[in-house]
Chains A and B, each alone.
Chain A
Protein backbone atom coordinates (compact mmCIF):
# COMPACT_ATOMS: atom_id res chain seq x y z
CA UNK A 1 0.00 0.00 0.00
CA UNK A 2 2.86 2.34 0.94
CA UNK A 3 4.60 1.32 -2.27
CA UNK A 4 1.58 2.21 -4.42
CA UNK A 5 1.24 5.58 -2.67
CA UNK A 6 4.92 6.36 -3.33
CA UNK A 7 4.42 5.30 -6.95
CA UNK A 8 1.38 7.62 -7.25
CA UNK A 9 3.44 10.51 -5.84
CA UNK A 10 6.23 9.79 -8.31
CA UNK A 11 3.72 9.67 -11.19
CA UNK A 12 2.31 13.09 -10.16
CA UNK A 13 5.83 14.54 -9.98
CA UNK A 14 6.68 13.13 -13.42
CA UNK A 15 3.44 14.44 -14.89
CA UNK A 16 4.07 17.94 -13.42
CA UNK A 17 7.62 17.86 -14.74
CA UNK A 18 6.50 16.92 -18.23
CA UNK A 19 3.80 19.61 -18.25
CA UNK A 20 6.35 22.26 -17.10
CA UNK A 21 8.76 21.04 -19.79
CA UNK A 22 6.07 21.22 -22.50
CA UNK A 23 5.11 24.73 -21.32
CA UNK A 24 8.76 25.73 -21.50
CA UNK A 25 9.09 24.55 -25.12
CA UNK A 26 6.12 26.76 -26.00
CA UNK A 27 7.62 29.73 -24.08
CA UNK A 28 10.96 29.30 -25.87
CA UNK A 29 9.19 29.57 -29.25
CA UNK A 30 7.26 32.67 -28.12
CA UNK A 31 10.43 34.29 -26.77
CA UNK A 32 12.35 33.62 -30.00
CA UNK A 33 9.55 35.15 -32.06
CA UNK A 34 9.20 38.35 -29.99
CA UNK A 35 12.98 38.67 -29.68
CA UNK A 36 13.36 38.53 -33.46
CA UNK A 37 10.69 41.21 -34.00
CA UNK A 38 12.21 43.46 -31.32
CA UNK A 39 15.74 43.05 -32.70
CA UNK A 40 14.54 43.99 -36.19
CA UNK A 41 12.73 47.11 -34.94
CA UNK A 42 15.72 48.18 -32.82
CA UNK A 43 18.07 47.56 -35.74
CA UNK A 44 15.93 49.74 -38.03
CA UNK A 45 15.84 52.55 -35.45
CA UNK A 46 19.56 52.20 -34.74
CA UNK A 47 20.43 52.46 -38.44
CA UNK A 48 18.66 55.82 -38.64
CA UNK A 49 20.95 57.15 -35.87
CA UNK A 50 24.30 58.84 -36.21
CA UNK A 51 27.29 56.65 -36.95
CA UNK A 52 28.72 57.43 -33.48
CA UNK A 53 25.52 56.12 -31.82
CA UNK A 54 25.54 53.03 -34.03
CA UNK A 55 29.15 52.32 -33.03
CA UNK A 56 28.35 52.87 -29.35
CA UNK A 57 25.38 50.49 -29.43
CA UNK A 58 27.32 47.82 -31.32
CA UNK A 59 30.17 48.12 -28.84
CA UNK A 60 27.87 47.77 -25.82
CA UNK A 61 26.05 44.85 -27.45
CA UNK A 62 29.36 43.04 -27.89
CA UNK A 63 30.10 43.54 -24.19
CA UNK A 64 26.71 42.18 -23.16
CA UNK A 65 26.59 39.04 -25.33
CA UNK A 66 23.94 40.60 -27.59
CA UNK A 67 26.03 40.35 -30.73
CA UNK A 68 26.93 37.30 -32.83
CA UNK A 69 30.60 36.41 -32.50
CA UNK A 70 32.75 34.69 -35.13
CA UNK A 71 36.20 33.19 -35.03
CA UNK A 72 38.22 30.05 -34.61
CA UNK A 73 37.42 27.95 -31.62
CA UNK A 74 36.56 24.63 -30.11
CA UNK A 75 33.45 22.45 -30.00
CA UNK A 76 33.22 20.07 -27.04
CA UNK A 77 30.52 17.41 -27.04
CA UNK A 78 29.83 15.86 -23.65
CA UNK A 79 27.64 12.79 -23.20
CA UNK A 80 26.84 10.62 -20.21
CA UNK A 81 28.48 7.23 -19.96
CA UNK A 82 26.30 5.20 -22.38
CA UNK A 83 26.32 2.14 -20.12
CA UNK A 84 24.13 3.92 -17.54
CA UNK A 85 20.82 5.78 -17.75
CA UNK A 86 19.80 9.01 -16.01
CA UNK A 87 16.14 8.11 -16.39
CA UNK A 88 15.64 8.31 -12.63
CA UNK A 89 15.44 11.60 -10.79
CA UNK A 90 18.71 11.37 -8.89
CA UNK A 91 21.68 11.88 -11.14
CA UNK A 92 24.55 12.56 -8.73
CA UNK A 93 26.89 10.07 -10.22
CA UNK A 94 30.28 10.33 -11.87
CA UNK A 95 28.83 8.68 -15.00
CA UNK A 96 26.59 11.71 -15.62
CA UNK A 97 27.47 15.23 -16.62
CA UNK A 98 26.68 17.44 -13.66
CA UNK A 99 25.70 21.12 -13.63
CA UNK A 100 28.93 21.70 -11.69
CA UNK A 101 30.93 20.10 -14.57
CA UNK A 102 29.48 22.64 -16.99
CA UNK A 103 30.09 25.50 -14.52
CA UNK A 104 33.73 24.43 -14.09
CA UNK A 105 34.20 23.98 -17.84
CA UNK A 106 32.81 27.45 -18.61
CA UNK A 107 35.14 28.93 -15.96
CA UNK A 108 38.11 27.01 -17.39
CA UNK A 109 37.29 28.21 -20.93
CA UNK A 110 37.17 31.82 -19.70
CA UNK A 111 40.53 31.26 -17.99
CA UNK A 112 41.87 30.26 -21.41
CA UNK A 113 40.56 33.55 -22.85
CA UNK A 114 37.42 32.32 -24.58
CA UNK A 115 35.66 35.39 -25.96
CA UNK A 116 32.23 33.82 -26.41
CA UNK A 117 30.71 30.56 -25.15
CA UNK A 118 27.49 28.72 -25.88
CA UNK A 119 25.96 25.52 -24.55
CA UNK A 120 23.44 23.74 -26.78
CA UNK A 121 23.29 26.94 -28.84
CA UNK A 122 22.39 29.14 -25.87
CA UNK A 123 24.83 31.99 -25.33
CA UNK A 124 26.38 31.89 -21.88
CA UNK A 125 27.61 34.77 -19.77
CA UNK A 126 29.48 34.60 -16.45
CA UNK A 127 26.13 35.40 -14.84
CA UNK A 128 24.21 32.56 -16.47
CA UNK A 129 23.21 30.25 -13.62
CA UNK A 130 23.80 26.58 -14.43
CA UNK A 131 21.89 24.41 -11.99
CA UNK A 132 20.60 20.84 -11.83
CA UNK A 133 16.90 20.03 -12.04
CA UNK A 134 15.94 16.37 -11.93
CA UNK A 135 17.77 14.56 -14.71
CA UNK A 136 18.39 17.71 -16.74
CA UNK A 137 20.14 21.06 -16.30
CA UNK A 138 18.78 24.60 -16.25
CA UNK A 139 20.87 27.09 -18.22
CA UNK A 140 19.47 30.40 -17.11
CA UNK A 141 15.79 29.61 -17.49
CA UNK A 142 16.23 27.01 -20.23
CA UNK A 143 16.06 23.32 -19.49
CA UNK A 144 18.67 21.34 -21.47
CA UNK A 145 19.59 17.67 -21.54
CA UNK A 146 22.65 15.74 -22.68
CA UNK A 147 24.45 15.55 -25.01
CA UNK A 148 25.81 19.01 -24.23
CA UNK A 149 27.54 20.80 -27.08
CA UNK A 150 29.79 23.56 -25.76
CA UNK A 151 31.23 25.97 -28.30
CA UNK A 152 33.88 28.52 -27.45
CA UNK A 153 35.64 31.13 -29.55
CA UNK A 154 39.34 31.50 -28.84
CA UNK A 155 42.62 29.77 -29.61
CA UNK A 156 41.66 26.08 -29.99
CA UNK A 157 44.92 24.70 -28.57
CA UNK A 158 44.50 26.77 -25.41
CA UNK A 159 40.81 25.92 -25.07
CA UNK A 160 41.53 22.16 -25.34
CA UNK A 161 43.45 22.27 -22.07
CA UNK A 162 40.35 23.72 -20.36
CA UNK A 163 38.60 20.40 -20.89
CA UNK A 164 41.38 18.32 -19.34
CA UNK A 165 39.77 18.05 -15.88
CA UNK A 166 36.74 16.29 -17.34
CA UNK A 167 38.93 13.52 -18.76
CA UNK A 168 39.08 12.00 -15.26
CA UNK A 169 35.31 11.46 -15.23
CA UNK A 170 33.40 8.45 -16.53
CA UNK A 171 31.73 10.51 -19.25
CA UNK A 172 32.27 10.82 -22.99
CA UNK A 173 33.97 13.86 -24.43
CA UNK A 174 34.62 14.68 -28.09
CA UNK A 175 36.69 17.71 -29.06
CA UNK A 176 36.73 19.41 -32.48
CA UNK A 177 38.84 22.40 -33.48
CA UNK A 178 36.75 24.66 -35.68
CA UNK A 179 38.30 27.21 -38.04
CA UNK A 180 35.20 29.32 -38.36
CA UNK A 181 32.72 29.18 -35.53
CA UNK A 182 29.74 31.47 -35.14
CA UNK A 183 28.10 31.87 -31.74
CA UNK A 184 24.70 33.53 -31.80
CA UNK A 185 23.81 36.49 -29.61
CA UNK A 186 21.89 35.92 -26.40
CA UNK A 187 18.14 35.98 -26.86
CA UNK A 188 17.11 39.19 -25.20
CA UNK A 189 18.46 40.92 -22.18
CA UNK A 190 17.63 40.19 -18.58
CA UNK A 191 15.33 42.82 -17.10
CA UNK A 192 17.24 44.91 -14.58
CA UNK A 193 15.12 46.06 -11.62
CA UNK A 194 17.55 46.76 -8.78
CA UNK A 195 20.70 48.20 -10.37
CA UNK A 196 20.86 51.73 -11.69
CA UNK A 197 23.59 53.92 -13.12
CA UNK A 198 25.51 55.84 -10.48
CA UNK A 199 25.84 58.79 -12.84
CA UNK A 200 22.67 58.59 -14.93
CA UNK A 201 23.96 61.12 -17.49
CA UNK A 202 26.69 58.69 -18.63
Chain B
Protein backbone atom coordinates (compact mmCIF):
# COMPACT_ATOMS: atom_id res chain seq x y z
CA UNK B 1 0.00 0.00 0.00
CA UNK B 2 2.78 2.38 1.08
CA UNK B 3 4.80 1.42 -2.01
CA UNK B 4 1.82 2.18 -4.27
CA UNK B 5 1.43 5.61 -2.64
CA UNK B 6 5.11 6.44 -3.19
CA UNK B 7 4.92 5.36 -6.86
CA UNK B 8 1.75 7.45 -7.34
CA UNK B 9 3.41 10.47 -5.69
CA UNK B 10 6.49 10.12 -7.93
CA UNK B 11 4.35 9.79 -11.08
CA UNK B 12 2.24 12.82 -10.10
CA UNK B 13 5.44 14.77 -9.30
CA UNK B 14 6.96 13.99 -12.72
CA UNK B 15 3.67 14.89 -14.42
CA UNK B 16 3.52 18.23 -12.57
CA UNK B 17 7.16 19.01 -13.34
CA UNK B 18 6.52 18.34 -17.04
CA UNK B 19 3.42 20.52 -16.94
CA UNK B 20 5.36 23.38 -15.30
CA UNK B 21 8.14 23.04 -17.90
CA UNK B 22 5.64 23.02 -20.74
CA UNK B 23 3.79 25.99 -19.19
CA UNK B 24 7.08 27.92 -18.90
CA UNK B 25 7.86 27.30 -22.59
CA UNK B 26 4.43 28.52 -23.67
CA UNK B 27 4.70 31.46 -21.23
CA UNK B 28 8.03 32.43 -22.77
CA UNK B 29 6.47 32.29 -26.27
CA UNK B 30 3.57 34.42 -25.09
CA UNK B 31 5.89 36.99 -23.47
CA UNK B 32 7.55 37.53 -26.84
CA UNK B 33 4.30 37.64 -28.79
CA UNK B 34 2.47 40.85 -29.33
CA UNK B 35 -1.28 40.30 -29.21
CA UNK B 36 -2.05 42.67 -32.06
CA UNK B 37 -5.36 41.32 -33.28
CA UNK B 38 -6.67 40.15 -36.61
CA UNK B 39 -7.11 43.61 -38.17
CA UNK B 40 -3.52 44.55 -37.31
CA UNK B 41 -2.28 41.37 -38.96
CA UNK B 42 -4.43 41.90 -42.07
CA UNK B 43 -3.01 45.42 -42.26
CA UNK B 44 0.54 44.03 -41.95
CA UNK B 45 0.03 41.95 -45.11
CA UNK B 46 -1.65 44.88 -46.89
CA UNK B 47 1.35 47.09 -46.02
CA UNK B 48 3.77 44.35 -47.15
CA UNK B 49 1.98 44.21 -50.51
CA UNK B 50 2.08 48.03 -50.83
CA UNK B 51 5.80 47.97 -50.14
CA UNK B 52 6.30 45.27 -52.75
CA UNK B 53 4.42 47.46 -55.25
CA UNK B 54 6.71 50.41 -54.33
CA UNK B 55 9.74 48.16 -54.77
CA UNK B 56 8.54 47.05 -58.22
CA UNK B 57 7.89 50.69 -59.22
CA UNK B 58 11.31 51.75 -57.93
CA UNK B 59 13.05 48.96 -59.87
CA UNK B 60 11.09 49.80 -63.03
CA UNK B 61 12.17 53.45 -62.66
CA UNK B 62 15.80 52.40 -62.15
CA UNK B 63 15.53 50.18 -65.23
CA UNK B 64 14.19 53.03 -67.38
CA UNK B 65 16.88 55.40 -66.07
CA UNK B 66 19.63 52.85 -66.58
CA UNK B 67 18.56 52.43 -70.19
CA UNK B 68 18.36 56.18 -70.89
CA UNK B 69 21.16 57.73 -68.79
CA UNK B 70 24.88 57.80 -69.44
CA UNK B 71 26.53 54.61 -68.21
CA UNK B 72 28.84 56.61 -65.93
CA UNK B 73 25.87 58.27 -64.21
CA UNK B 74 24.15 54.92 -63.66
CA UNK B 75 27.34 53.50 -62.18
CA UNK B 76 27.73 56.50 -59.87
CA UNK B 77 24.18 56.12 -58.56
CA UNK B 78 24.63 52.37 -58.11
CA UNK B 79 27.83 52.96 -56.12
CA UNK B 80 26.04 55.49 -53.92
CA UNK B 81 23.12 53.11 -53.24
CA UNK B 82 25.48 50.25 -52.42
CA UNK B 83 27.68 52.47 -50.25
CA UNK B 84 24.73 53.55 -48.14
CA UNK B 85 23.74 49.97 -47.39
CA UNK B 86 27.18 48.44 -47.01
CA UNK B 87 28.52 50.03 -43.83
CA UNK B 88 31.69 51.21 -45.61
CA UNK B 89 30.85 54.88 -45.14
CA UNK B 90 29.40 56.89 -42.27
CA UNK B 91 25.75 57.76 -42.81
CA UNK B 92 23.27 60.08 -41.19
CA UNK B 93 19.59 60.96 -41.17
CA UNK B 94 16.53 61.35 -38.96
CA UNK B 95 15.59 58.58 -36.61
CA UNK B 96 15.39 57.55 -32.99
CA UNK B 97 17.79 56.63 -30.27
CA UNK B 98 16.83 54.05 -27.66
CA UNK B 99 18.80 53.71 -24.45
CA UNK B 100 18.42 50.54 -22.39
CA UNK B 101 19.92 50.89 -18.92
CA UNK B 102 20.62 47.22 -18.13
CA UNK B 103 21.78 44.11 -19.90
CA UNK B 104 18.83 41.99 -21.01
CA UNK B 105 18.61 38.70 -22.86
CA UNK B 106 19.73 39.18 -26.47
CA UNK B 107 16.42 37.95 -27.90
CA UNK B 108 14.66 41.06 -26.53
CA UNK B 109 17.06 43.25 -28.49
CA UNK B 110 16.47 41.13 -31.62
CA UNK B 111 12.69 41.42 -31.18
CA UNK B 112 13.04 45.18 -30.74
CA UNK B 113 15.17 45.50 -33.88
CA UNK B 114 12.67 43.36 -35.87
CA UNK B 115 9.88 45.71 -34.79
CA UNK B 116 11.91 48.78 -35.80
CA UNK B 117 12.83 47.35 -39.19
CA UNK B 118 9.17 46.48 -39.85
CA UNK B 119 8.41 50.16 -39.16
CA UNK B 120 10.94 51.36 -41.74
CA UNK B 121 14.37 51.40 -40.04
CA UNK B 122 17.00 51.74 -42.74
CA UNK B 123 20.12 51.39 -40.60
CA UNK B 124 20.69 50.25 -37.02
CA UNK B 125 23.74 50.50 -34.77
CA UNK B 126 24.30 49.16 -31.27
CA UNK B 127 26.68 51.33 -29.23
CA UNK B 128 27.78 52.81 -32.58
CA UNK B 129 28.57 49.44 -34.20
CA UNK B 130 26.48 49.24 -37.36
CA UNK B 131 24.42 46.08 -37.72
CA UNK B 132 25.30 44.41 -41.03
CA UNK B 133 25.90 40.78 -42.03
CA UNK B 134 29.54 40.79 -40.88
CA UNK B 135 28.76 42.20 -37.41
CA UNK B 136 25.51 40.25 -36.86
CA UNK B 137 25.12 37.76 -34.02
CA UNK B 138 24.31 39.08 -30.58
CA UNK B 139 24.56 37.38 -27.22
CA UNK B 140 24.54 38.59 -23.66
CA UNK B 141 27.38 37.77 -21.30
CA UNK B 142 25.95 37.81 -17.82
CA UNK B 143 25.40 41.30 -16.55
CA UNK B 144 28.59 42.61 -18.17
CA UNK B 145 27.31 43.39 -21.62
CA UNK B 146 26.62 41.99 -25.06
CA UNK B 147 28.98 40.48 -27.53
CA UNK B 148 28.24 41.54 -31.10
CA UNK B 149 30.76 39.65 -33.20
CA UNK B 150 34.13 40.88 -31.86
CA UNK B 151 32.70 43.89 -30.03
CA UNK B 152 31.88 44.06 -26.34
CA UNK B 153 28.91 46.36 -25.85
CA UNK B 154 28.54 47.54 -22.27
CA UNK B 155 25.41 48.91 -20.60
CA UNK B 156 23.70 51.25 -21.16
CA UNK B 157 22.95 49.90 -24.62
CA UNK B 158 22.41 52.66 -27.18
CA UNK B 159 20.41 51.64 -30.23
CA UNK B 160 20.66 54.21 -33.03
CA UNK B 161 18.11 53.85 -35.77
CA UNK B 162 17.85 55.84 -39.00
CA UNK B 163 14.37 55.94 -40.53
CA UNK B 164 11.03 57.75 -40.19
CA UNK B 165 11.29 58.96 -36.57
CA UNK B 166 7.60 59.31 -35.78
CA UNK B 167 6.69 55.86 -37.15
CA UNK B 168 9.70 54.26 -35.48
CA UNK B 169 8.76 55.70 -32.09
CA UNK B 170 5.09 54.79 -32.54
CA UNK B 171 5.92 51.20 -33.48
CA UNK B 172 7.72 50.43 -30.22
CA UNK B 173 5.69 52.55 -27.82
CA UNK B 174 2.09 51.20 -27.69
CA UNK B 175 0.71 49.70 -24.49
CA UNK B 176 1.60 46.00 -24.53
CA UNK B 177 4.15 46.63 -27.30
CA UNK B 178 7.77 45.54 -27.33
CA UNK B 179 9.10 48.23 -24.93
CA UNK B 180 6.32 47.51 -22.43
CA UNK B 181 7.12 43.82 -22.56
CA UNK B 182 10.83 44.50 -22.01
CA UNK B 183 10.02 46.72 -19.02
CA UNK B 184 7.50 44.22 -17.61
CA UNK B 185 10.07 41.45 -17.72
CA UNK B 186 12.96 43.42 -16.18
CA UNK B 187 12.37 45.11 -12.87
CA UNK B 188 14.02 48.51 -12.50
CA UNK B 189 15.07 48.79 -16.11
CA UNK B 190 14.96 52.23 -17.71
CA UNK B 191 14.30 52.48 -21.44
CA UNK B 192 14.38 55.93 -23.07
CA UNK B 193 13.31 56.68 -26.62
CA UNK B 194 14.33 59.99 -28.19
CA UNK B 195 13.37 61.26 -31.62
CA UNK B 196 16.37 62.87 -33.35
CA UNK B 197 16.50 64.98 -36.48
CA UNK B 198 20.03 63.85 -37.25
CA UNK B 199 21.66 60.65 -36.14
CA UNK B 200 25.08 59.58 -37.35
CA UNK B 201 26.07 55.95 -37.70
CA UNK B 202 29.84 55.54 -38.13
CA UNK B 203 31.48 53.45 -40.84
CA UNK B 204 32.56 49.97 -39.89
CA UNK B 205 36.22 49.23 -39.18
CA UNK B 206 37.97 47.70 -42.20
CA UNK B 207 38.09 44.23 -40.64
CA UNK B 208 34.33 43.96 -41.27
CA UNK B 209 34.53 45.05 -44.87
CA UNK B 210 36.38 42.10 -46.42
CA UNK B 211 34.14 39.64 -48.20
Q: Which residue of A lies closest to B35 (CB)?
A: A92
The docked-state distance in angstroms from the alpha carbon of A100 to that of B210 is 30
CB contact between B49 and one of A59, A141, A192 (< 8 Å): that residue = A141
The docked-state distance in angstroms from the alpha carbon of A161 to that of B84 is 34
Q: Which residue of A lies closest to B109 (CB)?
A: A107
A8 an interface residue at 8 Å Cβ cutoff? no
Residues 161-181 (chain A) with a chain B CB within 8 angstroms:
168-169
B44 an interface residue at 8 Å Cβ cutoff? yes
Say yes or no: B88 contacts A94, CB within 8 Å: no
B42 an interface residue at 8 Å Cβ cutoff? yes
B90 to chain A, nearest CB (A): 4
Q: Which residue of B lies closest to A24 (CB)?
A: B49
Say yes or no: B53 contacts A61, CB within 8 Å: no
Say yes or no: B75 contacts A46, CB within 8 Å: yes
The docked-state distance in angstroms from the alpha carbon of A30 to that of B54 is 12
Question: How many residues from B make CB contacts under 8 Å with A?
Answer: 79
Query: What residues of chain B lie closer than 8 Å to A198, measured between beta carbons?
Result: 89-92, 200
The docked-state distance in angstroms from the alpha carbon of A131 to that of B43 is 13
Instruction: Encode A180-199 as 1/0 by CB contact (under 8 A) with B.
Output: 00000000111111111111
A156 to chain B, nearest CB (A): 17
The docked-state distance in angstroms from the alpha carbon of A37 to that of B74 is 15
Q: Which residue of A lies closest to B201 (CB)?
A: A195
Known pairs A34-B56, A93-B26, A188-B59; A42 contacts B122 (CB<8 A): no
B residues with CB within 8 A of A: 22, 25-26, 29-30, 32-33, 38, 41-42, 44-46, 48-49, 51-56, 58-60, 62-63, 66-67, 71, 74-75, 78-95, 106-107, 110-111, 113-115, 117-118, 120-124, 131-139, 162-164, 200-201, 209, 211
Q: Other CB < 8 Å A-B pairs besides A27-B49, A94-B29, A141-B49, 11 of them?
A: A17-B45, A23-B49, A57-B75, A89-B38, A107-B136, A126-B131, A133-B45, A138-B48, A143-B48, A168-B25, A192-B85
List the 6 shortest-distance A-B pairs measured between CB atoms, nearest first: A110-B137, A60-B82, A111-B137, A126-B136, A110-B136, A141-B48
